[in-house]
Structure formats: C-alpha cells, structure tokens
Structure 1
Amino acid sequence: MRFAKHITEIESSGIRKCFDGVGPGAVNLSIGQPDFDTPGHIKEAAIKAIEQGMTGYTPNLGIPELRAAICEKLRRENGLTFSPDQIMVTSGASEALFLAIAAVTSPGDEVLMPDPGFVSYRPLVQAANGRPVGVHLDHELKLSVDTVAEHITPKTSAIIVNSPANPTGAVQSESEIRGLAELADDKGIALISDEVYEHFIYEGEHVSPARYGENVITVNAVSKTYAMTGWRLGYLAAPPEAIDVMLKIHQYIQACASSISQAAALAAITGPQDCVREMRESFRRRRDMMIRGLRDLGLDLVVPKGAFYIFPRVGDGDEFAARLGAAGVITVPGSAFGVNGKPHIRISYAVSEDNLRLALERMKEVV
C-alpha cells in the first residue's frame, strides 16, 4: 500500500504519549481535562433523550433547538449576533478546528499559529495539505499583532488564535484581539478563534474576535466548560459562506454530531451555570497553590490568567519532563507544542489539590 505523504509526515501527539505512559502511583499532570463529573442535570437530559428514542440521525448542522441556544449564548456572553443557520454542531472542537482549517486551506497555503501552541494545530494544517507556520510569542506568552503581521505572505490563508491558551494559560487583551481580527480583515484571510477555555479566566476578560472582524470562524465546545470531554460535542459559528464550505466536509466525514450528546449540550447551555462558577473557583485555588509551590522551587514562570495550565521555563523541557516522570510526576515537554516550547514543560492543574501537593513534593526532590 502507498500512503499520502502529507499524512505520514504527521507526528503522534506528544500529550497522548505522556498520558498513555502513566504508570501506577504516578501523579498525572499531563492531560487537559477537568477532573469533575458531568453535572447531574446534563446527564439526566441525555438519559431522557435515550428513553424518548432520540437515537437517529439529526440534521447535518445539528438540532434546531441547540443551534438556537448557541446563538442566544453567543449573544448573551460574547456580544455576537448569529442566526441558527450560521451554527454547525460538531463532534468536539477537534472536528470543528479541522473543518475550519480545511475550508480555507488549499495545497501549499500557510496557516499562522502560536508557537508554542496547542498540539493539534500543526497536524491539522498538515492533514489539510497546508503549511503550518509558527509565530513566536512575546514575553507574556501572547501573540503580538506586529509579529503576526510580519509572518503574513501572499500564501497565508488563516491565523489561528487561542485565548485563553493551551499550553500557556495566556489571555489576549481586548486591544490585541481587536488588532488580530482587523489584521485578518485587512489581509483578506481567515481568523480561526479557538475559545474552548473561555469560562476559565482568573484575571481579565474573554473577548471574541468575531466582535471586530468579518472573517472570523469561532470554535467552541461544551467539553471543558461542563466537564464533558468524552461527550465529543463542539460547535462552529461563522459567516454563511464559510458554513456552506465546511458543511461539504462535515456531511461526508461525520454526517452529524451524536444525537444524545446534542441533547446533553442543550441542557448544559440552557441550564443552571453554578457548576461552571464552582469549577472556575476550584481551578483558581489550584492555580494559586501551584504558582506558590513552583516559585518556592525556583522555577521561572509567567502567571497564567486562564485555562488550567502552567508553562514554566526549565531549561531543557524534554530532559526535565523525563526526570519528573522517573520521580512519578507526569508532565508534557514543551517541545510537544512547537519548537519554541522546548525550554518549557506544561503542567495541568486539573487534578485534586492532594495530588498537586504530592506532585510538588516529588518535584522538589528532582529540583
């Protein structure tokens, strides 16, 4: 058999390598998912959907009630105006990201992305037969509008923005978001905004680029916000012409998102939001505890303002992560997130406070 060259060149996820290698007794700080159970009212909605026989295909774009609820959520929380036919429900944000990238990327096109940035961006661009281009982050681990502008060429088709960011926890300011959105409009390229961590911000506020630009494809999901990573339910909000192009891919590779997960997502978005606030405050406490602990160990770090990651500078991230792993603390070497991540490791504090204390004790031995 012969395989597609641009696919065989894709590397396996550095995060999954760490996650799959966790041994007994190790403290796993490598995986980025809330350690909370999905709230009860969301699970009950899914059970009810099963009992009522909601087990067939849904419209390609998603059930109308959920798309209407997403529109209302975007209006209320993000200041964005969309109609239901501008919303597509997907199998997680992962599918949404691929649809957005593939829709705007012709063979050889360049897609700009943060480096270090989320592990999926580069492979997804490669899978779309495009060329990923990493953009250095500034001293606050954020994308600079000027630096992004310097990387734009006639082959550039899109910019990927992630705020709050994985792996850094950085939150872009309103002026930065506006500048990036206006830059994309000025250059006639797409801005793909990954907003899955929007509800986990501890300083500052979340700002959606679609408030300031017409060329924005907004990607989000219920995965992190409602502790629903395994439900695989994400969504896109975009101009009608972009939805039309992405639908051509979605209807053939996926048909529709899970009907039961859509029922659960509807309950999540329209139901009580106390669970989200409780998770956020728990993550804030854990973040603060880890910052104090890591600084006591002498590690150099930028305080993350969002998400649930810390990205300390440790010298050689590969070597340091290996030494921590041998001591029973699993982290992700920063090189998994791009060439500029090599001096770092990523620590996820989405685990219990007891495990975080144990991890700090073991890290002290290594340091």
Structure 2
Amino acid sequence: MSGSRRDGFALSDRVTSVAPSGIRRLFQLGKSMDDPIDLSMGQPDFDPPEDVRRAAVDAIESGRNRYTVTQGIEPLREALRERYAHRCTGLATGEEDVMVTSGASGAIVIAYLALLDPGDEVLIPDPYFVVYRNVASLVGATPVMYDTYPDFRIDPDKVRAGITDRTRAIVVNSPTNPTGHALDEREARELAAIADETQIPLISDEIYEDFVYEGRHVSPREYTHNCLVIAGASKSLGMPGLRVGWMIGPTRFVERCHAVQQYTFVCAPAPGQWAALAGSRVDPGPYRAAYTKKRDLIVNGLDESYRVVKPRGAFFAFPQIPQGIEPQRFLDACIEQQLLIVPGSAFSTRATHFRLSFAAADAKLLQAVEVLNSIAADQVRDPRSG
C-alpha cells in the first residue's frame, strides 16, 4: 500500500457481482405513491385462510416461537410426504426426504451451496427468476442461459447446447416467473431424459404448482429421480412474509443440506411452519379459479396492443413492448401514470418485454389495461418513440 488507508468496509467481489433487485426498487417506489396501480410484486393479493392465520397466532400465543429442529417440525414434514408421495415415490421408501426451508428462495440458496463450487456452471432459463442468476454469482458459480423465447417453451436442443464439462445443475421453473409458462408432459419428459443421460441434476422450482389454469401441474420429477423439487407455502396460502418453503430430494443429499441450513437460516420461522401445516388441508381451487379470470382479463384486454403469450400458470404475464417503443421510455410512461410494472431486463438478457402480476384487485387490473393501451397508442403516434 502507498500510504493510503484501505477501506475496512470494501465490498467483496461476490457482492459487487450482483445488482440490487429492480423488483424491490419498484416496491419501494410504490410505497411513495398515493394510489399506485402496483403490478410489480410477485405475491398473492389474498390473505391466508382463517385456519392458517389462526394456527400462526396460536403458535405465537402458546410459546412456539423458539427454534425448531433444522429440518422442520415433523408434523409438517409428514404432511408434505403425504402430499408429494405420488410424485416423489422415494418418500415412501426412505430414498427421498423433505426439508422445510426459509421460503423457496431459501431452498434455492441451500441447493446452490450444496451443489455448486466456484467455477461450476448452472444452466438457467432465459427469462428467469432473478434469484437463480444472482445467487449463482454469490456462490462463485457461473450462470449460463438457455433461451426460451419467443413462446417460453423449453427446447431440449438449446438445453443440451448449453451443457459443458463444468455444468453441475439445470434449473427448471414451472409454472414460470416471469412468463407464466407451465411445462407439458413432453417438455418434462425431455428434461428428465437430459438429466438421466448426463447425470446432471434438475433443480425444479415449483412454487406456483397450485396455479395451473389448463390441464394439470407436470413435474420433471415424475419422469426422473435425478431431480430436486423446490416449493413452498408463500403463493398457495397467501403467506410470503412467513417464509416457509421446502425441498424434496435424495435423502443423502437432503440430510447434508441440513448442515447448510444450520449455518445459514438455522430453521424456517416456527409460527410459519405451524401455519403451513394448517394450510396443508386448504383447497387452492377457489384461488385458482379467481386467478384464471384475472389472467383472462389481462390477456384479452391487451390483445390488440401487445403480443402476449397466454400464461398457463403462476400469476404473471410477460407482454412484448410494442415494436418501435424504446424500453426506458415505455417504463417512464408507465411510472408517470402511477403504473408499476417490471422491465423485462430484470429477468432476461433482453429488454424487449415487461412483467406484470395479475395478483391484484380487478379494478386495478382494468386500470392497468386502460393505461397500457393508452401508452401503446400514444407512444406509437409520438415520433420521438423511435
């Protein structure tokens, strides 16, 4: 050193490799507005059912606020074994097991830490949920994208093309954030075949599994044992703030993940675990029916002004910005009218689309449709938009 004092709080390379979430910035912006049309956040617009709320309150009032065992309370784990027994057949034989985590994102962090060494590669769909790419950078791995544009379906040839001798995992998300695509049986079988051929495990994020609007939820785990399933209670039960997720995978792998959780999250929040247990008896059908109508309101409302691939699941649409409109100008126009959507560049190597959540009141969705159609018409007419 040449006489200069080193900054004691200089950030590590792993932290400087990731940017703050654009979604959270919009969340903060929405808090500063009087009455925004906020379609930026990926959370349900309904509260947990009464039984679920009561279970959380009862847990707090009865003193169940302390640490639980790392892997989660046994009644919840047993309920999850029963729920997933048809999909994860090893749960009945002891070859697979479940660990409760601090949200599905917590499960992704733990899975990455357990699977990936510095220099390893992880294949991620483009578009992607922001955690997949940034947590890979935090653990020193390299995220490698496989393209799913323009219809967001998975092309097995593109997945295979991304595999190298450094590939350690393949991330799959269905139903998908941000596009709403849901795997069909053909896609799931093709992914399973790749996992079996290469012995590269799939990390299958299925947090939106209860929100599939046509057909059934299809998991790659149905066709291969080489798959780690990640899901949780945040979306299905309207309790994202209680942070309860889970992972299901080979017992030897999950048991080693206990140690990772012990030194990171310790355990999932205790009241949330008891709430999730109560929620294991809840029928998601009414929520799914309501969100089907919201999905149709958005897709039909934007059809004439935007190219929108109809979402088959989750509660997002990922429309394409009309040709000729500069993405930042489009985003600024939305903010000027108190409409909060997320630019597609937050989820992708491209800036051609934007994400909106239709987990909102119908009145807000109708306002959003009106604003977006108005912006499309005005910007196309404005010669500066090119």
What is the TM-score of this pair, normalised by structure 1? 0.95
Q: Report the equivalent of 2:20.
A: 12
Letter in structure 1 aligned against 2:217: H
Letter aligned with residue 238 of structure 2:
A
Partner residue, 2:225: 214
Say which of 16, 40, 57 aligns to 1:47. Answer: 57
Determine helix, strand or coil for the equivalent of 2:303: helix
- In the alignment, which residue of structure 2 is the partner of 1:346? 355
CA distance in 2, matches of 1:261, 1:120: 22
Matches within 5 A, 1:52-63: 52-63=62-73
Q: Which moved more, 1:105-114 or 1:236-245?
A: 236-245
Looking at structure 2, the residues matched to 152 and 318 of structure 1 have their Cα atoms a distance apart, in angstroms, of 34
1:310 to 306, 317, 333: 317
**Structure 1: which amino acid aligns with 2:83?**
K
Deviations along 1:220-254, whole A, 9 cap, x unmatched?
00000111111100000010121133222101112
- Summarize the Cα distance change of 1:307–1:206 in structure 2 as closer, same or farther, 3 Å threshold: same
Task: Report what 2:241 is aligned to.
Answer: 230
Give the match for residue 269 of structure 2.
258
Residue of structure 1 in register with 2:45 after alignment:
35
Match of 2:36 among 26, 29, 35: 26
Which AA in structure 2 matches 1:108?
A: G
Instruction: Trace 1:279-358 onto structure 2 (pairs within 5 A).
Output: 279-296=287-304, 298-314=305-321, 315=323, 316-340=326-350, 342-358=351-367
Report the secondary structure of 1:339's partner residue.
coil
Deviation at 1:214, TM superposition (A): 2.1
**What SS does the corresponding residue of 1:325 show, helix, strand or coil?**
helix
Name the amino acid aligned to 1:153.
Answer: T
Counterpart-to-counterpart distance in 1, 2:202 and 2:301: 37
Unaligned runs of 5+ in 1: none
1:363 corresponds to 2:341 = no
Distance in 2 separating the partners of 1:264 and 1:21 = 31
How far is the alpha carbon of 1:198 from its aligned partner? 0.6
Worse-matched range after superposition: 321-330 or 144-153: 321-330
Q: Does 1:240 align with 2:251?
A: yes
Deviation string 1:292-317 (CA, Å, 9 cap, x unpaired) is 11013x21111111111111111444
How far 1:102 moved relative to its partner?
1.6
Task: Give the structure with higher Rg (CA).
Answer: 2
CA shift for structure 1 position 338 = 1.5
Instruction: Tell me the equivalent position of 1:190.
Output: 201
Amino acid at match of 1:86: D
What SS does the aligned partner of 1:248 have? helix
Match for 2:122 among 108, 111, 115? 111
Cα distance in 2 for partners of 1:317, 1:242 equals 43
**Letter in structure 1 aligned against 2:24:** R
Distance 1:92 1:218 in 2: 13
Q: Percent identity?
A: 38
Letter in 2 for 1:48: D
Q: What pairs up with 1:68-147 in 2 under 5 angstroms?
A: 68-76=78-86, 78=87, 80-82=89-91, 86-147=97-158
* Deviations, residues 48-90 of structure 1 (Å, cap 9, x unaligned): 22233222221110111110100001125x4644158711101
CA–CA distance in 1 between the matches of 2:214 and 2:120?
Answer: 36
Q: CA RMSD in A?
A: 1.5
Query: d(CA) in 1 for partners of 2:328 and 2:147?
Result: 19
Question: Which AA in structure 1 matches 2:16?
Answer: T
Q: Distance between the aligned counterparts of 2:151 and 2:215, measured in 1?
A: 14
Higher deviation after alignment, 217-226 or 314-323:
314-323
Q: Could you tell me whether the CA contact under 8 Å between 2:17 and 2:138 is conserved in 1?
A: no
TM-score scaled by structure 2? 0.90
Distance 1:335 1:70 in 2: 36
Quote the Cα distance in structure 2 between the aligned partners of 1:197 and 1:322: 30
How many residue pairs get matched?
Answer: 361
Q: Structure 1: how far apart are the matches of 2:236 and 2:129? A: 18
The C-alpha deviation readout for 1:299-337, integer Å capped at 9, x for no partner, is: 111111111111111144443222111122110000000
What is the identity, as a one-letter code, of the residue corresponding to 2:375? V
C-alpha contact 1:71 1:81 (8 A) present in aligned 2 = no
Contact 1:317 1:335 in 2 (8 A): no
User: Could you say if the C-alpha distance between residues 45 and 89 of structure 1 is closer, same or farther in structure 2, counting changes exceeding 3 Å?
Assistant: same
Q: Hey, what's the Cα distance between the residues in 2 that align with 1:80 and 1:311?
A: 34
